Homo-oligomer: A and B are copies of this chain.
Amino acid sequence: MTSYQVRPVARIESPLTDRATAPKQGDEGAPPSRVVFAPEFAPAAADLRPGDRLVLLTWLHEADCEVQAVHPRGDRDRPSTGVFSTRSPDRPNPIGLHTVTVTAVDGGTLTVTGLEAIDGTPVLDVKPVLGEVAER
């Protein structure tokens, strides 16, 4: 099958620098961090506001794309499991999925809470968390 090219639209700035010690999910103790947009994507980011609940898709740049099965959460007492049944960062396309809340917007930079991605992680996409059908 054809492959496709993805290009980072932003990058994460975070006090988390080590994959091994970072929280496994954003609701497991992640510190505030920043989403810094590349200038060429400013129009796409122009309507983001404090209080927005967003989904970030990231490229987990330290992941191993050849891994197809893991022991969930690195616990060898749990059976080896196909990665599509886990949230392992090691997977064929290492795209991270994060739900964050924007606390501040300063030019092309967002401050967000609830993000467990490490410093330097590329961001591929930003989407609003969907409200009820009637509010879309």
Contact = CB atoms under 8 A, between A and B. Distances in A.
Copies of this protein, total: 2
Interface bracket on A: 35 or more
Interface of A is mostly: mixed
Contacts of A133: 25, 27-28
16 contacts: A1-B11, A2-B8, A3-B6, A3-B7, A9-B93, A25-B133, A41-B84, A44-B82, A44-B91, A47-B82, A48-B85, A57-B57, A57-B93, A57-B97, A93-B125, A95-B124
A29 to B, nearest CB: 10
Contacts of A61: 4
A104 interface: no
